[in-house]
Amino acid sequence: MTTARQNQRAWVEQIMGLPISVNLRGPGLTTPAVETRVAAYFAELRRIDEIFSTYRPDSEISRWQRGELTLAAADPLLGHVLALCDRAFVRTSGFFDARSLPDPLGGATRTDPSGLVKGWAVERATRQLPVGLGWCVNAGGDVLVTAADGQPAWRVGIEDPSRDGKILRAVTLRRGAVATSGTRHRGTHIVDPRTRRPPTGLRQVSVLGPELLWADVYATAAFARGGSALEWLAELDGYEGLVVSADGRISSTPGWPIA
Amino acid sequence: MRRITLWLLSTVAITVLLFSYRTSTMGSGGGDTVAVTPANNKSNNDSGGSTAGSTQTGTSTGNSTGSKTYEGSVAQTRWGPVQVRITVANGKITDVEAIEYPTENHRDQEINQYALPILHDSVISKQSAQIDTVSGATVTSEGYIESLQAALDSAHLS
């Protein structure tokens, strides 16, 4: 299909239970070299999913959870991600806690790094994308972009949690990430670690910053915090937040870009 | 053109009022209605069409760069007067600012610090409406097909 804007091309695949779209901008988008790089991007995500999927009984994370696999014997990425989870726990004062999540199959709590793996993997795999082109990756609403020299910046719309298909605000980004947490599409899947219950007080939190891994972790942690999210976000170095409260009020940290 | 501008102006004014309303009441019961008071209608030389149905009027001034500013009427709200000014160049709003808004208490000032920049952005971005991608709460595989992101991607799938 030839499109009106021929210098941009999109690919979409479903991986990790998410729609993941890659948009590239620049010359040569139909060349085999570009196809190969995009295929490598999705292949890396599928490989990470094979290690970290808690839905697959034979994944390394599942075998490790059952005590059938030691970290020493597992793929080094497993230990790397568990260390990132610990760092996220510290950076969020415990509001991002991958080590004590309720087991969906019932029973005791367990370690589940899924909430961190998505952002980390989507970001890590971008090293596969063609050098010199602009790209925009969107994984289920979490966004990471790079604009190449001579290409326009990417315009990232923040979804309005109260109105279907409407944009609350937009930011113009040449390089960076925007992650959004909320209850809109999946219902509540975040737990306040203090109460072990879904957080109340906020409808949506978006975080803007240099890395998708941390924008995603901070958005999740801020959503879990509820009412005090904005004050906490304002103290983060290099990251800004936009918060929609349960009653629909919109507020942002002072450094959130105006346009 | 003038009608459209006036319509935008009234939309802007009403948006300011909604912000004032939503933020200042802080959930203390709804039901208040806000009256929008028409200002003096200084006729503009590009006025050609009927303004039937318009409840909002404004004043405008031009400048040497070809852009024009329009001031909305002062709307009296429970929390004080609100008035906005928009700048229009080549038929597009290039700026919007509130030139009068409630500042009587600390809470108002705190709210306006956030609400006014947000208003500014939403008006400008909605009219240009050029969005490449959407950040939202996690979209599932099943929900993707109906999402705005799917519509944006589909324009570039090959």
pLDDT, tens digit, for every residue of A92-144?
Answer: 999 998 887 666 556 667 788 988 999 999 999 999 999 999 999 999 999 99
* Residue B145, domain member (yes or no): no
Pairwise pLDDT comparison (B91 vs B132), residue with the higher score: B132
Which range is least confidently modeled, A1-5, B70-74, B123-127? A1-5
Q: What is the pLDDT of residue B143?
A: 72
Q: What is the pLDDT of residue B130?
A: 73
User: Over 50: is that where the pLDDT of A4 sits?
Assistant: no
* Residue B61, domain member (yes or no): yes
Q: What is the pLDDT of residue A188?
A: 47
Nearest to A258 by CA among B81, B155, B113, B56: B113
Q: What is the pLDDT of residue B6?
A: 45
* Residue B116, domain member (yes or no): yes
Which range is least confidently modeled, A180-184, A231-235, B47-51, B137-141? B47-51
Out of A3, A161, A178, the one facing B137 most closely (by C-beta) is A161
Can you give the residue ranges of every domain in chain A? 8-252
- A141 touching chain B per CB within 8 A: yes
Which H or E run contains A8?
strand A8-15
- A41 touching chain B per CB within 8 A: no
Out of A23, A138, A142, the one facing B156 most closely (by C-beta) is A23
- A148 touching chain B per CB within 8 A: no
User: Over 80: is that where the pLDDT of A245 sits?
Assistant: yes
* Residue B74, domain member (yes or no): yes
* Residue B136, domain member (yes or no): no
* Residue B63, domain member (yes or no): yes
Kindly tell me the burial class for residue B106, based on how many C-beta atoms sit within 10 Å of its own C-beta (0-12, 13-18, 19 or more): exposed
- B126:A167 CB<8 A: yes
- A17 touching chain B per CB within 8 A: yes
- List B residues 122-151 in contact with A (Cβ-Cβ < 8 A): 122, 124-126, 129-141, 143-144, 147-150
User: Over 70: is that where the pLDDT of A252 sits?
Assistant: yes
User: Over 50: is that where the pLDDT of B37 sits?
Assistant: no
Strands (DSSP E) found in A93-239: 101-102, 109-110, 134-139, 142-146, 154-159, 167-173, 175-182, 202-209
User: Over 50: is that where the pLDDT of B36 sits?
Assistant: no
Q: What is the pLDDT of residue B132?
A: 86
Domain containing B17: what range? 2-129
What is the distance between the alpha carbons of residues B33 and A64, in angstroms, rounded to a whole number?
60
Radius of gyration of chain A (CA): 19
C-alpha to C-alpha distances, A116 to A52, A124, A219, B12, B152, nearest whole angstrom: 11, 12, 11, 40, 26
Q: What is the pLDDT of residue A40?
A: 98
Which range is least confidently modeled, A27-41, A87-101, B110-124? B110-124
pLDDT band at A214 (very low <50, low <70, confident <90, very high): very high
Domain count, chain B: 1
pLDDT band at A220 (very low <50, low <70, confident <90, very high): very high
Pairwise pLDDT comparison (A214 vs A199), residue with the higher score: A214
Residues A36-63, mean pLDDT to the nearest whole number? 95
Structure tokens at A250: 């919109």
pLDDT band at B124 (very low <50, low <70, confident <90, very high): low
Mean residue pLDDT of chain A comes to 89
Which H or E run contains A23?
strand A18-25
Pairwise pLDDT comparison (A154 vs B89), residue with the higher score: A154
Nearest-Cα distance to chain B for A155, in Å, is 5
Contacts of A186 in chain B (CB under 8 A): 137-138, 140
- B39 touching chain A per CB within 8 A: no
Which range is least confidently modeled, A98-107, B99-108, B122-131? B122-131
Residues A191-205, mean pLDDT to the nearest whole number? 78
User: Over 90: is that where the pLDDT of A162 sits?
Assistant: no
Structure tokens at B77: 């709200």
- B156:A3 CB<8 A: yes
C-alpha to C-alpha distances, A170 to A8, A173, A202, B23, nearest whole angstrom: 20, 10, 20, 21
Contacts of A14 in chain B (CB under 8 A): 141, 144
Q: What is the pLDDT of residue A61?
A: 94
Out of A145, A178, A185, the one facing B140 most closely (by C-beta) is A185
- A8-252: CATH, from 2.40.50.140, 3.10.520.10, 3.50.70.10, 3.40.50.2000: 3.10.520.10
Out of B133, B135, B154, the one facing A179 most closely (by C-beta) is B135
pLDDT band at B20 (very low <50, low <70, confident <90, very high): very low
